[in-house]
Amino acid sequence: MNLEIFDRIQQVACQLNVRGQSLSVAESCTGGLLGANLTDLAGASSYFKGGVLAYANPVKIEVLGVSRESLASYGAVSEEVASEMALGVRNLIGSDWALSTTGVAGPGGGTADKPVGTVWIGLADCRGAFSRKLELSGVRRAVRYETVIAALEILLEKLVERSVDL
């Protein structure tokens, strides 16, 4: 496991365990890499409930409840779809928090509007969902790993921000 990812996962685990909260994931461009890394930490079942690998649009629609309209209007790699994926997996699995990843990892598939390295990460909790856009560079493997790191960092930011609410 990448040490940078392992460090983030330990921090996420600590934050979630202190709160007695849980996490789920909906992954497209990371292809299960986020969930796999989360479960590399012993005791992950104390905070990680599971995930959905929604690579194809029909899975996003039928399993996660992403709207056909969002996919048609904005595309799978979009703020709207990332948020809907996160909300969908949170509702499906019943977790407190949910992360989603959708993007163009490359080497092909990029367009002028969404070049290779364009990624959206969604985060949902009881207050709703938001998404953050990343513009990454590098080969496919690097884009996927950087997406995992960024997703964990986004979750950590929100967990720390919400610790004031405890």
3-state secondary structure 91-151: HHHCCCEEEEEEECCCCCCCCCCCCCCEEEEEEEECCEEEEEEEECCCCHHHHHHHHHHHH
CB 81 within 8 A of CB 71: yes
Backbone angles phi, psi at 94, to 5 degrees: 80, 35
**Sheet hosting strand 48-53, strand order edge to edge:** 48-53, 23-27, 97-103, 118-125, 128-135
Cis peptide before 58 (omega within 30 of 0): no
- CB count within 10 Å of CB 154 equals 18
Q: How confident is the model at residue 40 (pLDDT cuts 50, 70, 90)?
A: very high
CB 22 within 8 A of CB 48: yes
Q: Report the C-alpha gap between 156 and 142 in whole angstroms.
A: 21
**pLDDT tens by residue, 53-97:** 999 999 999 999 999 999 999 999 999 999 999 999 999 999 999
Q: What is the percentage of the chain residues whose pLDDT exceeds 70?
A: 98
Q: Look at residue 22 in the predicted model and tell me its pLDDT.
A: 98
- Our measurement of the distance from residue 147's CA atom to the centroid of its chain's CA atoms, rounded to an integer in Å, reads 8
68: CATH: 3.90.950.20
Question: Does residue 130 register a pLDDT over 80?
Answer: yes
Structural domain including 61 reads: 3-165
Number of domains in the chain: 1
Q: Report the C-alpha gap between 119 and 104 in whole angstroms.
A: 6
Q: Look at residue 43 in the predicted model and tell me its pLDDT.
A: 96
Question: Does residue 166 register a pLDDT over 80?
Answer: no
